[in-house]
Amino acid sequence: MSLCDNTIVLFIFVLIKLFIYIIFPIIIVKKRDSSYVKYFIITEIILILSLLISNVFSLNSCIYNSNISGIKKSTVKSKILNYNSTHYTDEDYESVSEIEPTSYYKTYTGKNFYYYNQNDIFLKKKKLECGENKYFNVYGSTIVSTSMAVSTILDINITPIDILDLYNEEIFDCSENVNIGDVFSVVTNRYSGLDISEISGDMVVNSIRNGGIVIAQIQSNGNSNLTCGSNFITIYNITLEGKLIIADPDDSSSPYACSSSSMSYGKVLNANRTNTEWSLEDINSQTLHYYLVKGL
């Protein structure tokens, strides 16, 4: 438990604030002609300095979360974990071993498609930190798309955290980014009954119709409707008219504008992109590689 999760510590900061902002100023004003008022002034200065020093030495969340109207325990230090500690405690996430998909959809052949959104609480708070690389924050779609495809083909719930744990145990190299080929390798070695291979764009439609799941590595062409930079999406169904139905692990509940540092600066991406229909031409124009995940 972090210092700022301690109710006694937060209560002490509440008392300090009461004395600084209310009690001592009243005494100093009312007793300004008294000979002992200087001691209250000195104490007031000492308390203010103590508060400033506490803020400088990383206790600012204690100060922020302690207020006269109530005490709010810090959630930052207890829930955003360094991946080296790997596992959540019961206090942080009681059901972390029982994470369920965000939603279920249907594939072309009628299977359950296991959809995960990496911005859900259990995933966005999970952080593997190695140098400047942070997962799932930056490279999560690689892991999450693989999780969705593999779970669907095997019809068992293999969570993105399961995949990330496996990748970290088997192959993770701090000096490199997460590589989709390495992810596929550790997954097929651990789970039998899987075949993962790269395919061309003209094989996507038939692959979906034959029961496969296709992962598309997309990159913005400056006018992308799916990503500001790069992303992995999953294609799991196709309409009678031949439109592809996709799942975006980095989907959002509201539209957002691409930042100035992105390839699609100024472009506004629509919300709720998952379970929407796209033409093969639209997807092809933004896709670098297609990967087919199917059963043996």
Res 80: pLDDT = 26
* Residue 15, φ and ψ in degrees, nearest 5: -65, -45
The neighbouring-strand residues paired with 245 are 237, 277
Q: Which residue has the tokens 């999780």?
A: 147
- Please, are residues 198 and 154 in contact by the beta-carbon 8 Å criterion? no
Inter-CA distances, 17 with 32, 47, 52, 59, Å: 21, 9, 12, 14
Res 87: pLDDT = 35
Res 158: pLDDT = 92
Nearest Cα to 286, choosing from 235, 238, 230? Answer: 230
What CATH number should be reported for the domain whose range is 83-295? 3.90.70.10
Res 129: pLDDT = 55
* Residue 273, φ and ψ in degrees, nearest 5: -80, -20
At 172-218, the pLDDT tens digits run 666 566 788 888 999 999 999 999 999 999 999 999 999 999 999 99
Res 81: pLDDT = 28
Res 273: pLDDT = 92
Helix (H/G/I), strand (E/B), else coil: 284: helix
Give the integer Cα–Cα distance in Å for 40 and 242: 79
What pTM was computed for the model?
A: 0.65
- Please give the chain's pLDDT, 296 residues, in tens: 344 545 566 677 778 888 888 888 898 888 888 888 888 899 989 888 887 777 665 455 565 555 555 555 443 332 222 223 333 333 444 445 567 888 999 999 999 999 998 877 566 556 555 555 555 555 578 889 999 999 999 999 998 888 877 887 777 666 566 788 888 999 999 999 999 999 999 999 999 999 999 999 999 887 788 888 888 999 999 999 999 999 999 888 888 777 767 777 777 888 899 999 999 999 999 999 999 999 98
Give the integer Cα–Cα distance in Å for 211 and 207: 7
Nearest Cα to 213, choosing from 106, 78, 62? Answer: 106
